[in-house]
A and B are shown apart, each in its own frame.
Chain A
């Protein structure tokens, strides 16, 4: 028990209005260890934000307790909690005139003097936070001059400056373009490992979460949670069932969701490398499904040679060759 950074027992989260309680999720028994990056996943409306807000002490739990470092979050004063847990929220920062350095320095709030002055030690930690989050390039800029991705990293730097064992980020990758999303996820993964902090993020980036998470907390529509390593959850089918919706298919073999309707035709494809991968994608897009059995009606091969890529379609003993993917698909459709 002692080496858990964050621990919930029989936690149920939701909203109170008057005497009525509306439970969104629970009871939840969750644990986070030092150095772990945990991704909180779940379909819209499953209660991810409510859980995050409850863990962070921004709203009271309906039942059960949240412990950080063996201390009950509900019993900590805001100033004590601020030394245990820092947050990156989806709230927009309206103070556009604030410069990045001052913003990151605000992370030292729980430690600074009554007028907010920074000690030498504080400044050292602010400098470390700025370097760790890779925001030193725009430390002179104003918040209004940052892109969404840069702003997220600055807010992360502020959370790092707060120097807490646990950091929670609510949908940090929303509004970011793909490279920024990947960069941020990689940064979080690396920080969890290097600093032995526990980092919890809620996200909709399933594929990225599957790649970087040490643990996944999968909130389901019925309010229960499935916990495990990404691989475990995919292989035992829990992942698939949580996002079950008509027309959405999770492909276990690739770890991605298919957005294409299947036409019922299946193809056996031979070949390796990038050409084969993208041929598979093209086939899926055109409504074919891929099979492992060589006895399928349609059989094709991708050959990557020095002269270029060629596509072969085999039926019985005849083999037809095409030099572009477009021609290959045309030929396949005529079969």
Chain B
């Protein structure tokens, strides 16, 4: 039995295969290159060598360039990394929790819930949810917004989880999710209707999504929130693995299902909520990246998939950000347009290939 000998050697050693090690090394290399490229390219053209000098703080460079690189481009690139990690991992967790390959923060209305949370805070403060009002708030304000938007996200997740327990059909659940997102967005729209016209324009800009609004002090808050979400997520990878077989099996293997749900909802809401609060609703990364990670690493094991999603999500966000700058021009496209352009084909691929719709 040739098959059984590979089973003994490869599986029982529990190590990653050389092929997977190669993929991981290549991904890390690409990440590094994309990160540098993202900083080097932009609407103001700065010679590549000067950018490198600024990053490693060696040699003397034009002060404006130092400002652009240190205060704008590096925070933006770090934000791209955070968004890529956070949204992909929250999407992965949602797909496992709902046992639905088409689940994701933007699809099931989680980002809409987060928007509502942000809007409610702004409403009570008598202002509008916009990038600029967020920027005007101090450090305490940014924490408040993260908490509000995470709670908004969690609220929608709980509603969807409650409904999903009585729905077996993936497609039906998806439609319910879209409807809930619509209800949430309508509530925001009604409130918008009563707002000043110039503020509506700002809100619309926010809905395009942007990585640029995260200035230095907000960045620390975002880093902490995303790190917290990721740590909870990695710690719950064993729970996620058990949930792959469904809740009854998970319970029979000793999982306290309700506690596991709360933990997973918490980390998903923190990740999707904090990112949405600062960067606006960014679509398709959350739903597409987990599928890319599954096919690339060929596994369902969350201990591999969570770091895998971080790597692929980060690479994809950096690429999207580089494209959105349209290198060599003064124009910048909204990041949401680019993620949709890259993410939608992946979703279509998931729906068409039957194997992937069944296998998540």
Contact = CB atoms under 8 A, between A and B. Distances in A.
Contacts of B355: 96, 144
Contacts of B284: none
Contacts of B253: 82, 86, 106-107, 109-110, 162
A254 B253 CA distance: 41
Max chain A CB contacts within 10 Å: which of B14, B253, B255? B253
Interface string A94-134: 11111101110011011010111110000100010010000
Contacts of B303: 115-116
B252 A56 contact: yes
B217 interface: no
Nearest to A113: B238
A81 B359 contact: no
A95 B1 CA distance: 27
Query: Across chains A and B, which 5 residue pairs bring their CB atoms closest together, nearest first?
Result: A96-B359, A82-B254, A116-B238, A79-B254, A87-B252
Interface size on A, as a range, is: 35 or more
Given A118-B14, A139-B3, A94 B242 contact: no
Contacts, number: 120
A94 B247 CA distance: 12
B252 A115 contact: no
B1 A137 contact: yes
Contact of A139 (B7, B238, B255): B7
A136 B1 contact: yes
Interface stretch (B116-124, B136-144, B179-187, B294-302): B294-302
Given A58-B252, A81-B254, A112 B4 contact: no
Interface in A131-163: 136-140, 142-144, 162
A95 B300 contact: yes
B91 to A, nearest CB: 15
Interface of A: 56-58, 77-83, 85-87, 89, 91, 93-99, 101-103, 106-107, 109-110, 112, 114-118, 123, 127, 130, 136-140, 142-144, 162
B3 A102 contact: no
A96 B357 CA distance: 9
Interface string B6-30: 1110011010000000000000000
A130 B6 CA distance: 14
Given A89-B248, A102-B300, A78 B359 contact: no
B348 to A, nearest CB: 19
Given A58-B251, A91-B246, A139-B3, A116 B241 contact: yes
B237 to A, nearest CB: 6
A117 B253 CA distance: 15
A85 B249 CA distance: 12
B278 interface: no
B358 interface: yes
B99 interface: yes
